[in-house]
Amino acid sequence: MNKVKVLVVDDSAFMRKFIIDLLSENPQIEVVGAARNGKEALKKVSLLNPDVVTLDVEMPIMNGIDALKQIMKEHPLPVVMLSSTTTEGAKNTIIAMQYGAIDFVAKPSGEISLDLYKVKEELINKVLLASRANVRVISKDNASEIIMNPMYDKRAHQRKKIVCIGTSTGGPRALQQVLTRLPENIAAPIMIVQHMPKGFTKSLAQRLDSLSQITVKEAEDGETLQNGTAYIAPGGFHLLVRESNGSLTACVEQSPPRNGHRPSVDVLFESISALTGYEKIAVIMTGMGSDGTAGLKKLKENGNTKVIAEAQETAVVFGMPRAAIQANVVDSIVPLEQIAEMIVKYVEGQGGKGDGHEPIFGSVH
């Protein structure tokens, strides 16, 4: 099997050596070069043609964000960011994800992390996963356009709705494509699980809120859910929805991880499956593994649910949508740029198998 060729970019000689040593311990990885800043990285990308780049966010001469923009423009390939966990570091990491980085690893203790070995397995796994990601879909992003509320069935509009979205690798960019297209008066709250560690989901919510017509925020325990607002599960916490006195409230808690995930898409979806008197629209998008499929089965068992899966052609990683499709719990499979439109149609009572979208669309291999 061919090894995954990696270029390591960091301004600290110590960190470069540390990262190279950690990656080189895996027999599937070959580090083909290193660079001290973004400018040097661009030259090495052309020269060495790596499969994956690990890229530090904070660097002199040319920082990681500017280097990433150039790489995605001139030579699109998978990039994994190495980020500090400071507020500024988290903010820049979220911007990097929206410019096309596949994923990121948080340095445990700042720019010079002597304890980087703590995230060795995470770094190796994310580099290997990035090497298999579909980068073509990132380099041809479409501009977002707000979906206008279509004509709707008045009876459908009177029924209470809730939207829930699950995503992982490639999710921040995918969420931007979906949330920025939703109209601010959408008649449902939107619950979101994005696999992401503590300290980064607040920056993600703030960034998406600044770009969207709807309100986007990190979910808070006990808050009453409002239509036209998207609630993102805080990193390190499960997000559930409870019915209380005729309204819905968010429940944020730290019960054990589910299949290695906290937040878990399954936990959110299962809590929503227990709601009575609500029509549910569930969306499963780009991500590795099968988180969300068990929850979708529960939603389908309890009825009143429409499920949208992202099509393979636009998914950075097709694992989570594929698992849901293969479990036969999906109503519509659409490319990323059509997901917001499908959500609005279902909320307004227009979606269904007679809307021109086949229940199974595109390849699931």
283: left (phi over 0), alpha (psi -120 to 50) or beta: beta
- pLDDT tens track for 162-202: 999 999 999 999 999 999 999 999 999 999 999 999 889 99
Instruction: Please indicate whether residue 357 is annotated as part of the active site.
Output: no
Domain count, the chain: 2
β-strand pairing of 103-106 with 332-334: unpaired
Instruction: Please indicate whether residue 168 is annotated as part of the active site.
Output: yes
CATH number at residue 219: 3.40.50.180
For 280-312, letters b (16+ CB in 10 Å) and e give: bbbbbbbbbbbbbbbbbbbbbeeebbbbbbbbb
How many alpha carbons lie under 13 Å from residue 7 in its C-beta half-sphere? 24
Task: Name the more confident of 77 and 148.
Answer: 77
Q: Do residues 177 and 318 share a domain?
A: yes
Tell me, yes or no, whether 221 lies in a domain.
yes
- pLDDT tens track for 124-156: 999 999 999 999 888 665 556 666 655 544 555
**% of the chain with per-residue pLDDT over 70:** 89
Q: Do residues 61 and 167 share a domain?
A: no
Predicted confidence band of residue 362 (pLDDT cuts 50, 70, 90): very low
Q: Do residues 101 and 173 share a domain?
A: no
Average pLDDT, the chain: 90
Q: Do residues 166 and 109 share a domain?
A: no
Instruction: Please tell me the predicted confidence (pLDDT) of residue 119.
Output: 87
Question: Which residue among the candidates 168, 203, 264, 290 is catalytic per the annotation?
Answer: 168
Predicted confidence band of residue 57 (pLDDT cuts 50, 70, 90): confident
| Separation of alpha carbons 49 and 33, rounded Å | 10
Q: In the chain, at which residue ranges do the beta strands (DSSP E only) sit?
A: 4-9, 29-35, 52-56, 79-83, 103-106, 160-167, 190-194, 215-218, 229-232, 238-244, 247-253, 278-284, 305-310, 332-334
Instruction: Please tell me the predicted confidence (pLDDT) of residue 109.
Output: 65
Question: Which residue among the candidates 261, 291, 331, 357 is catalytic per the annotation?
Answer: 291
Q: Do residues 223 and 82 share a domain?
A: no
Predicted confidence band of residue 42 (pLDDT cuts 50, 70, 90): very high
Instruction: Please tell me the predicted confidence (pLDDT) of residue 150.
Output: 54
Q: Do residues 273 and 202 share a domain?
A: yes
Q: Do residues 210 and 325 share a domain?
A: yes
- Its domain, for residue 82, covers 4-136
Q: Do residues 166 and 306 share a domain?
A: yes
- pLDDT tens track for 229-262: 999 999 999 999 999 888 999 999 999 999 999 9
Instruction: Please tell me the predicted confidence (pLDDT) of residue 285.
Output: 98
Contacts of 60 (CB under 8 A, 6+ apart): 11, 37
Contacts of 280 (CB under 8 A, 6+ apart): 161, 162, 163, 164, 272, 273, 299, 304, 305, 306
Q: Do residues 114 and 171 share a domain?
A: no
The beta-carbon contacts of 356-361 under 8 Å, at least 24 apart in sequence, are: 357/332, 357/333, 358/333, 359/330, 359/331, 359/332, 359/333, 360/325, 360/330, 360/333, 361/311, 361/332, 361/333, 361/334
Going edge to edge, which strands form the sheet with 160-167? 215-218, 229-232, 190-194, 160-167, 278-284, 305-310, 332-334
Task: Name the more confident of 308 and 59.
Answer: 308
Tokens of 198: 């503590």
Question: Which residue among the candidates 84, 195, 203, 331 is catalytic per the annotation?
Answer: 195
Q: Are 233 and 195 in contact (CB under 8 A)?
A: no
- pLDDT tens track for 285-298: 999 999 999 999 99
Tell me, yes or no, whether 154 lies in a domain.
no
Instruction: Please tell me the predicted confidence (pLDDT) of residue 152.
Output: 46
Instruction: Please tell me the predicted confidence (pLDDT) of residue 360.
Output: 44
Q: Do residues 113 and 173 share a domain?
A: no
- pLDDT tens track for 306-328: 999 999 999 999 999 999 999 99
Q: Do residues 131 and 86 share a domain?
A: yes
Q: Do residues 183 and 332 share a domain?
A: yes
CATH number at residue 55: 3.40.50.2300
Instruction: Please tell me the predicted confidence (pLDDT) of residue 158.
Output: 65
| Separation of alpha carbons 263 and 272, rounded Å | 15
Instruction: Please indicate whether residue 291 is annotated as part of the active site.
Output: yes
Tell me, yes or no, whether 361 lies in a domain.
no
Tokens of 357: 């979208």
**pLDDT tops 70 at residue 79:** yes
